[in-house]
Structure 1
Amino acid sequence: MPSLSSRKQSACCRWQERLVLPYLAAALMLLVWQGAAMSGLVRPVLLPAPADVLAALYGMLCSGELFRHLAASLGRVVSGFAIAAALGISLGIAMGMSARCELVLQGVMQFFRPIPPIAWLPLAVLWFGIGEGSKVFIIVLGSFFPIYTNVLQGVWQVSGKYLEVAEMFQVSRGRLLRQVILPSVLPYILAGCRSGLGYAWMCILAAELTSGLLGIGYLLVDARALAQTDRVMAGMAVIGITGKVMDSLLAMLLDAGKGVRVWKKKIAA
């Protein structure tokens, strides 16, 4: 049996691994990047040094330019993602629980699913103009299908023994949804929402690259037109950091309160 000191040492090693390993790849990437920039093999206009990117980022932060563009993109992402999540979760559960609903809607979903969201952009601009509506519409299309697909698969994966017990005791559909379906599907909702959030950022950038005068996508286009590669890469870094923070917050929110572990305990009980 391991001693108390060995257990403490093992726990300390695990804590150090969780603290260090996630940032090890990023540190190595920065070192290689800095080395390539300093070697002179690549022109600065093509690959600026990390210090130049940080300087550009600092300049945009001080001027307030970055906050204006980020706030615009963030508002669009949150709005579109919220609509997509509501639609994807609702339709995924409805089609998973109702064979008739699945029969009616499955063909339509399979028809629209392969169409890239960006292919809708000309119609979105025609229908909603170049304002917020077209951009939110593209985000909804991009985020919806990952969420819907994961939720539908989650409902299909619900253990048959729970459904049999619910049928035996003549449990109402509402109670079945609250006490059996939702607890089982919650991990799939989490996975779908996290995937959908990534698609939301990809879609908003593509929409902003083609229309509008405000947003991270417009910032990247404007910097590219002026050959300001350091600003382009600074904007890309901001997108990655913001996406990571939103993904972590989403995971924390869905795991808090009646989170995944609590739901699983209720199922087991």
Structure 2
Amino acid sequence: MWFGLGLASAADLIFPGAFFPVVLATCSGGLAVDPLYVDAVRVLGCGRAAVWRKVLLPGSLPSVVTGVRVGLGIAWMTLVAAEFIGVRGGYGLGYMIMSARDLQRTDMVMAGMAAIGLIGLGMEWCLKRLSQPLMRWQ
């Protein structure tokens, strides 16, 4: 526990876990755009901003959304794990599950696990609904 116990340590664990998948997916999406499209738009007289807006951003958007979905899942798992091991104060689903385990309250453990799953499912559903209007062509 290099960062101590508390919310700051949880954030220090969550940020790198969620940040790097998003960055890697964004870079790979940008590199996957066919250079032929970029050349075609430049030949038609579009400037640098138009190339970004009309070709690179729409072409890399599926990879960016995938990276955000992966990053969100990792952030959610890391948050619960950080609550298991290092957040003081007696709050959070991870803390609730650990306390219920210590008290041998299987019903509370199962309820916490169900809540984790349902919240993760809800986040995935919201992200999917938000990304659909951005990628109408898929």
| TM-score, L = length of structure 2 | 0.88
Q: Counterpart of 2:41? A: 166
**1:176-230 residue CA offsets vs partner (Å, 9 max, x unmatched):** 2111111011111111111111101110111111122211110011011111122
Structure-1 separation of matches of 2:37 and 2:56: 9
Pick from 215, 238, 249: which aligns with 2:92?
215
Partner of 2:132: 255
Query: 1:201 aligned to 2:76?
Result: yes
State the one-letter code of the partner of 2:7. Answer: E
Q: 1:153 aligns with which of 28, 37, 58?
A: 28
Poorly superposed stretches of 4+, deviation over 6 Å: none
**Structure of higher RCO (CA pairs closer than 8 Å, 6+ residues apart):** 2
Residues 1:233 and 2:110 aligned together: yes
Aligned residue for 1:124, secondary structure, equals coil
CA RMSD of aligned residues (A): 1.7
Give, in angstroms, the shift of residue 170 of structure 1: 5.5
Larger gyration radius, structure 1 or structure 2: 1
Which sections of structure 1, spanning at least 5 residues, go unmatched?
A: 1-121, 265-269
Identity %: 36
Q: TM-score, normalised by structure 1?
A: 0.47
Unpaired segments ≥5 residues, structure 2: none
Q: How many residues align?
A: 136
1:124 — aligned with what?
Answer: 3
1:244 aligns with 2:102: no
Distance in 2, Cα, partners of 1:172 & 1:203 = 42
